[in-house]
Structure 1
Amino acid sequence: MGARAVSPGGALLRTSRMFSVPKPLPEPPSTSLHIGDHKSATMTRQYPQHQSITTPLSSREKGDWGYKRPFPLKSTMTTSTPLIRVKKVDSVENVTDFASAADHSLSLEKFQELHVAMSVPRGKMSGEARSASLWPKSVFEEELDPTESQSGRSDGKRWKFRGPWLARMGEGEFVRYLKKTVHPKRAQFRALLKRKLAEDITTSQNNLAMEKGTPAPPKAEPRDITEAHFSEYLRTLRNDRTTLYGLVSEFLDLAPLAVPIGLLQSIHPPLESKSLYGNSGPPPSHPSAGISYLRTNSFMENHPVYGPQARRTPALARVVYPRAGHKPAKLGVGGFVADVPLGDNEFNIRFGLGRTQANKMLNGIAHLDTTTYGGAKAYIEPKTATVDPSGKVVLQLRETHPEAQVIAKESKGQSHIYHDAETKAKQATQLQGDKSPDRRIERITNEILNDDS
């Protein structure tokens, strides 16, 4: 059977960029429920809400970006980053509302140049799992990338849920969720509890019959449960909050929460390990956020002169915020703000230990450096990155090796450590030849002849 014919107008709309652009993402949620976020109208959002659009130079010279009206050349031809985001195709004034999308596009390009593998947030483990949790685990591992609930597998490693994360919801949003989602499902949840009670009764009767050596009684059905028995079961279930919370979370498919205070003693020891997203909440998208698809940092760089390198090429970071009290200093790496590396190094002050001297402290850490052009900078090595519930990319840095810093500076022409004996001897011979009297007379003659001509 042939394909369905499409009208010329429908074919035009299908190939139009205006109809291929996805819907914008919602505003990033606030992670603070008590203190309002200090936002600016010009600040860069945690993640892009609109698709970044570009066009070839030949089309850009005509103002053609794939939409129904041309864009002004004055604002699209005078930029070195021809990337825009369309906020609204048609506004009240019959104009297309667009802005530059270079911030997120360049941040993505810079982040991919760091070659950082995305990892899941570290949860508090108990026993032998604690030592294994010290190493970052990739978000693409099969055991850490489930999206649906599966039998025999804990939901503590899931990142996608149909229900919300209650700790992130405001009071008004929570009340609306109760009215629109929870209240209409009361009858379904009571039916679920009756099935659960019938299963418990059947299991108890089978165990008792096995102990007495008698045949198993018939299976209990939910319709055989009386209202008095069910009310007593509800009263007992309300006192067992751990079981009740588990049933409610499974029924509504809620994102896991941290263990409530007072329930730690009633939880079985194997369940002491918290969910990966119990404290911070699940991410709004895949834990990788689509910005990196590396599974591990276990790869070796090969320098064209010095061969395989033990450490990766460091990145140059800028000190954007000095240390204030107990708050660590902030570094800007590839357009992302991160905390300084942990440990006793040039980024941290260890009072009373005497191991970090004041003259070894990096400029800009203890106070704002206003003398250095462009601000204080230092080389660091990105270790891994995670995505928090609000969509922010959280980088983890570590101190780099001095040899890696020297090699990185040499690649930028800021230092010179490699000397080829043959090249050096040839350069010395040429330098001596240039200083000989005959060579100098020849150069003077050539200069005079060129001037006269």
Structure 2
Amino acid sequence: MSGRAVSPGGALLRTSRMFSIPKPLPEPPSTNLHIGDHKSATMTRPYPQHQSITSPLASREKGDWGLKRPFPLKSTMATSTPYIRIKQVDTVENVTNFASAADHSLSLEKFQELRVAMSVPFNPDKKSHSASTRSELWHKSVFEEDMDLTEFKGGRGDDRRWKFQGPWLARMTEGEFVEYLNKKVRPKRAHFRALLKQKLADDITTSQNKVALDEGREAPPKVEVRDITEAQFTDYLRALRNDRVTLYALVSKFLDLAPLGQPVGIIHAFWADRDSVAPDSPYGKSGPPPSHPSAGISYLRTNAFMENHPVYGPQGKRAPALARVVYPKTGPIPPKLGVGGFVADAPSGDNEFNPRYGSRMSVNKGVLNGITHLDTTTFGGAKAYVEASTATVDPSGKVVLRLREADPEAQVIARESRGLTEIYNDGPTKSYVPSEQPSQQSKRVSDEARLNRVADEVLGESSRFDKP
């Protein structure tokens, strides 16, 4: 084995201290969904672009992070979150360009502590009110067999795919859309027209066979593409342009485009009867995610599990998370809450997060501080307990977390775990811890009892009844 010659690549891997680092992901694009995003060099990106690397303490003390040169101890040891991202292994200055990766690493740990199952987006436009209510209670997991699809195999199941070869047209800017037409669509025009001619020939053959069957005649020969005249094909194209549903279905299938939902001006019943990808696709309105719908941050399939408290036993409600009000309510825009490193909309409904003057909740419970105005007096900002129900990934790669109001009993138990209150105060069940030294009063009582016993023994048993 020692005498076998190895390739230059194999020798390089044997002598290298670093095996491989994946290529960084591209810069998150600005979409119409987030026009208000302001980019800066120090802002936290919607998703990590570089791999997060850590090293054990024994190696960090030597500056060893698995690369070919040691890192300075001053910048890597003076932190409680030893996570870095490599921006460039070798620069012109012969150094390794790295930065802290604690932002996304800690956000991942906090999100996994929430124990949230990722679900597919819910489109309420396609369902009735009863179905909408059921969907709010039971979300569809992204790991279901009929949802976790990547390849086009032909059939209605392909409508629920999350991965497409073509882009989502609603996300593209005007410049990107024009470039896509010039470089991707127009070169395929001849191929698409050939497919349309083949479809026309098949439709004519099917129609002739049906007429012959109804009249009891023998089926005519199959119509070939060469039998289609230019006049027939032109009339077919004109009819196809007027039938937008069929045209959209053919174009989307040919270019493998992400669904856009039903076209404007076409009723839902008519659209649902046709062979289209829009009605059954969960990404028709929100758009497909850029990666797997789980984004690799949670692999839970459902929220149907029960937590077990060490004192109170199985809990009917999950342990809530403490959220901070980061943005108050402004007009129709709901307040924003920060939960585990993610920003989400406040829970909807009649609760302390939605001030509705004159409502029963507003009168009985009041409105949380920081909802109607920015709270600058509370230390650390206004906070409240919420429960994370589910999360989805939008087309830009951001995690959209959905919250709901936490159960009052679960909030009390969460406060007790932090030492803010005490509810387990049943006296007989508490363990008795005797004091190290008895008090003076108990000592006097014990001394008097002993003196009485000594006196009884000296005087005899009969003297107990002779006392005045």
Same-fold call, TM cutoff 0.5: yes
Give, in whole Å, the separation in 2 of the partners of 1:244 and 1:9: 52
TM-aligned CA deviation for residue 335 of structure 1? 0.3
SS at match of 1:383: strand
User: Which shows bigger deviation, 152-161 or 133-142?
Assistant: 152-161
Partners of 1:114 and 1:315 within 8 A in 2: yes
Give, in whole Å, the separation in 1 of the partners of 2:134 and 2:153: 24
Partners of 1:33 and 1:170 within 8 A in 2: no
Change (3 A) 1:269 1:255: closer
Partners of 1:280 and 1:388 within 8 A in 2: yes
What residue is the counterpart of 1:192 in the other structure? 195
What residue is the counterpart of 1:292 in the other structure? 298
Partners of 1:125 and 1:133 within 8 A in 2: no
Q: Look at both structures and tell me which one has the larger radius of gyration over its CA atoms.
A: 2
Task: Note if 1:66 corresponds to 2:74.
Answer: no
TM-aligned CA deviation for residue 430 of structure 1? 2.6
Task: Note if 1:111 corresponds to 2:111.
Answer: yes
What residue is the counterpart of 1:334 in the other structure? 340
Change (3 A) 1:44 1:161: same
What residue is the counterpart of 1:345 in the other structure? 351
What residue is the counterpart of 2:32 in the other structure? 32
Task: Note if 1:278 corresponds to 2:284.
Answer: yes
Change (3 A) 1:186 1:402: same
Paired residue type of 1:125? K
Task: Note if 1:206 corresponds to 2:209.
Answer: yes
Paired residues for 1:94-173 under 5 Å: 94-123=94-123, 124-126=125-127, 129-130=131-132, 132-134=134-136, 135-173=138-176
Paired residue type of 1:232? D
What residue is the counterpart of 1:228 in the other structure? 231
Q: Which digits, 9 at most, give the CA deviation of each residue in 1:231-266, with x for residues without a partner?
A: 121121112121111111100101011222123378
TM-aligned CA deviation for residue 187 of structure 1? 1.4
Partners of 2:116 and 2:390 within 8 A in 1: yes
Q: Which digits, 9 at most, give the CA deviation of each residue in 1:371-419, with x for residues without a partner?
A: 2111111111110011111111111111111111111111122211113
User: Which shows bigger deviation, 289-298 or 69-78?
Assistant: 69-78
Paired residue type of 2:104? H
Change (3 A) 1:285 1:435: farther
Q: Which digits, 9 at most, give the CA deviation of each residue in 1:31-62, with x for residues without a partner?
A: 22894632222111110000001111222122
Q: Which digits, 9 at most, give the CA deviation of each residue in 1:58-95, with x for residues without a partner?
A: 22122121222221111001111110001111223332
Q: Which digits, 9 at most, give the CA deviation of each residue in 1:275-315, with x for residues without a partner?
A: 31122210000000010000100000111111110000111
Flag structure 2 segments of 5+ consecutive residues without an equivalent. Answer: 445-468
Paired residue type of 1:349? P
Task: Note if 1:393 corresponds to 2:399.
Answer: yes
Partners of 2:334 and 2:345 within 8 A in 1: yes
Instruction: Give percent identity, aligned residues only.
Output: 71
Partners of 2:262 and 2:268 within 8 A in 1: no
SS at match of 1:142: coil
From 288, 308, 314, give the equivalent of 2:320: 314
Paired residue type of 2:315? Q
What residue is the counterpart of 1:92 in the other structure? 92
What residue is the counterpart of 1:449 in the other structure? none
What residue is the counterpart of 2:79 in the other structure? 79
TM-score, normalised relative to structure 1:
0.89
Flag structure 1 segments of 5+ consecutive residues without an equivalent. Answer: 440-453
From 425, 434, 438, give the equivalent of 1:433: 438
User: Which shows bigger deviation, 221-230 or 49-58?
Assistant: 221-230
Give, in whole Å, the separation in 2 of the partners of 1:178 and 1:152: 27
Partners of 2:146 and 2:157 within 8 A in 1: no
Q: Which digits, 9 at most, give the CA deviation of each residue in 1:150-193, with x for residues without a partner?
A: 33324431110001111111122222212221121111111110
TM-aligned CA deviation for residue 358 of structure 1? 8.3
Give, in whole Å, the separation in 1 of the partners of 2:269 and 2:431: 79
Paired residue type of 2:142? V
TM-score, normalised relative to structure 2:
0.87
Paired residue type of 2:197? K
Partners of 1:51 and 1:85 within 8 A in 2: yes
Give the aligned CA root-mean-square deviation in angstroms.
2.5
Task: Note if 1:411 corresponds to 2:412.
Answer: no
Partners of 1:16 and 1:66 within 8 A in 2: no
Give, in whole Å, the separation in 2 of the partners of 1:397 and 1:265: 30
Task: Note if 1:371 corresponds to 2:377.
Answer: yes
Give, in whole Å, the separation in 1 of the partners of 2:15 and 2:383: 48
How many residues align structurally?
A: 435
Paired residue type of 1:254? L
SS at match of 2:81: coil
Paired residue type of 2:221? P
Give, in whole Å, the separation in 2 of the partners of 1:40 and 1:193: 49
Give, in whole Å, the separation in 2 of the partners of 1:205 and 1:189: 24
TM-aligned CA deviation for residue 365 of structure 1? 1.0
Give, in whole Å, the separation in 1 of the partners of 2:269 and 2:144: 32
Partners of 1:259 and 1:274 within 8 A in 2: no
Partners of 1:349 and 1:356 within 8 A in 2: yes
Task: Note if 1:381 corresponds to 2:365.
Answer: no
Give, in whole Å, the separation in 2 of the partners of 1:85 and 1:260: 44
